[in-house]
Amino acid sequence: MSSTTEQATGARTWSVAEHLDDILTAVQPLEPIELNLLDAQGCVLVEQVTVPVALPPFDNSSMDGYAVRAADTERASEASPAVLTVIGDVAAGSSGTELTVGPGRAARIMTGAPLPPGADAVVPVEWTDGGTGAGPARTMAPHSASPQGSGGQVRVHRPVTPHAHVRARGGDVCAGDVALEAGTVLGPPQIALLSAIGRPAARVRPRPRVVVLSTGSELAQPGEELAAGQIYDSNSFALAAAAKDAGAIVYRVGAVTDDAETLRATIEDQLIRADLLVTTGGVSVGAYDVVKEALTAVAEEELGEAEGEPAEGEEGEDAEQAVHRAHVDFRTLAMQPGKPQGFGTIGPDRTPILTLPGNPVSSYVSFELFVRPAIRAMMGLADLHRPVVRATLLPPHGAGDEEPAPLTSPEGKRQFLRGTYTGGERPEVRPVGGSGSHLIGALAHADALIVVPEAATKAAWGSEVEVVLLG
């Protein structure tokens, strides 16, 4: 209905795609910093990492057993073992140069221990008598509390070839190899490699610090008693959780009352720790649309003062001036829910700010469509969006025998309905709850958004629809 009026009055509306494009064009990946490996988990590497030293750094044993000269075992068999003199132990962590294995000799060696000079192969302990003279060994007697050189003889019951059970120096990666390319997301296996080549830290784009702030004089904090006319603040909780899921470090600011000065002061306070600000509420056409009022008034004020003002970041700029540097574009989007949206920058660092509508479902859908990609773009991730699939639209569960009326959607608007998705060979999606942007109960049981495109005014049961998969 209002779109007709808007068209009548010539007001511009933006499509979802246009708004998203504008946001992603404006939002920049954060400046890289050096982070300790475990702090860098999930972040994007910005440097090409090369291998400084070969891995393994030295020839070492892949088995517990005996380091030997392969030639000495050439004729070994079950019936006629090769008998070698044991000259000592080589433990993992020893320098590997304490012993030299001469002809007819063997050194007891542990997995990962350096192959001692003279030896060219390892006989697994299971192929020997373990130096006990009592047949094949299943274990080497532990004596870590007081390691000492072994002595006596070992019977080897099978021949080994040169290099058998030896991991060659550089067999994994060589010095100078590219370990990881710039752009790699650091998960556990990449962290394994970086630590294995001795890197305690990596140069990555950090996680953005996102301040989430809800507005509304009607908002009470969960746990408090509700006064007449009040509802509980849910947006700041939901979006804080969603921002964390998207990869951000989140600071939740509880509900700010509908007063432009209070809101300005709060935003100003928060700027210091924000790479991105997200507000909910106060962006519609109402008399108490505090976000719009606070940031619009500010922009106009700056506009009036622009000439002759000190340049951005110059000394002498006080906090009040800083927050006055707001450039926020409030828009009407051709979408439902989520029509009123704002996006711009604020403060001396031109911190990006997204102002979302206040209805809980509207703000959550807006977050998924606009804020999540912005957070991921700031992290430098290539994959910004939720998976989008196609599925057959089925009536809601519990609809009964009679087929319900088809889904309707306002003309010219992209509608996002909450749904439950079932994957597999023939993916299906069913709406859950109505289209009301205040229906949080239904949202909590949805795992997908059903998209009804701008051109469509209805979606028939059994037709194929586009589905955004959540979480």
The residue from 71, 285, 303, 388 that contacts its own copies (CB under 8 A) is 285
Candidate ranges 17-25, 355-363, 375-383, 394-402; the one touching its own copies (CB under 8 A): 355-363
Q: Which residues are 82's β-sheet partners?
A: 156
426-445 footprint of its own copies as x/- string (CB under 8 A): ----------xxxxxxxxx-
In whole angstroms, give the CA distance from residue 135 to residue 155: 8
Give the chain's count of helices (H) and strands (E): 10, 28
Pick out residues in 371-410 that bind its own copies (CB under 8 A): none
Question: Is position 287 an interface residue for its own copies (rule: CB under 8 A)?
Answer: yes
Compute CA 35 distance to the chain's CA centroid, rounded to the nearest angstrom. 15
Pick out residues in 248-267 that bind its own copies (CB under 8 A): 250, 252, 257-261
The residue from 26, 83, 94, 102 that contacts its own copies (CB under 8 A) is 94
**Quick one: 25 or 95, whose CB is closer to its own copies?**
95
The residue from 122, 197, 267, 377 that contacts its own copies (CB under 8 A) is 197
Least separation in angstroms between CB 64 and its own copies: 4
Pick out residues in 126-185 that bind its own copies (CB under 8 A): 126-127, 136, 138-145, 147, 167, 171-173, 177, 179-180
CB-based contact 416:336 (threshold 8 Å) = yes
Pick out residues in 23-42 that bind its own copies (CB under 8 A): 37-38, 41
**Quick one: 292 or 414, whose CB is closer to its own copies?**
292
Least separation in angstroms between CB 307 and its own copies: 26
The residue from 72, 89, 120, 275 that contacts its own copies (CB under 8 A) is 89
Q: What are phi and psi of 202, to 5 degrees?
A: -145, 155
Question: Is position 329 an interface residue for its own copies (rule: CB under 8 A)?
Answer: no
Least separation in angstroms between CB 136 and its own copies: 6
What DSSP string runs through 67-131? EE-GGGGTT--SSS-EEEEEEEEE-TTS-S-S----TTEEEEE-TTPBPPTT--EEEEGGGB-TT
Question: Is position 337 an interface residue for its own copies (rule: CB under 8 A)?
Answer: no
Q: For 146-249, where are the alpha helices, taking DSSP H only?
A: 188-196, 235-246
Matching residue, tokens 């070492």? 60
Question: Is position 358 an interface residue for its own copies (rule: CB under 8 A)?
Answer: yes
104-133 footprint of its own copies as x/- string (CB under 8 A): ----x-xxxxx---------xxxx------
Question: Is position 54 an interface residue for its own copies (rule: CB under 8 A)?
Answer: no
The residue from 33, 53, 182, 319 that contacts its own copies (CB under 8 A) is 53
CB-based contact 211:273 (threshold 8 Å) = yes
C-alpha pair distances (Å), 310 with each of 298, 303, 316: 17, 13, 8
Task: Classify residue 262 as exposed, middle or buried by CB count within 10 Å of its CB (0-12, 13-18, 19+).
Answer: middle
Pick from 57, 280, 72: nearest CA to 173: 57
**Quick one: 113 or 267, whose CB is closer to its own copies?**
113
What DSSP string runs through 221-257? -TTSPPPTT-EE--HHHHHHHHHHHHT-EEEEEEEEP
The residue from 26, 46, 86, 241 that contacts its own copies (CB under 8 A) is 241
Pairing, β 82-90 against β 153-156: antiparallel
Question: Is position 62 an interface residue for its own copies (rule: CB under 8 A)?
Answer: yes
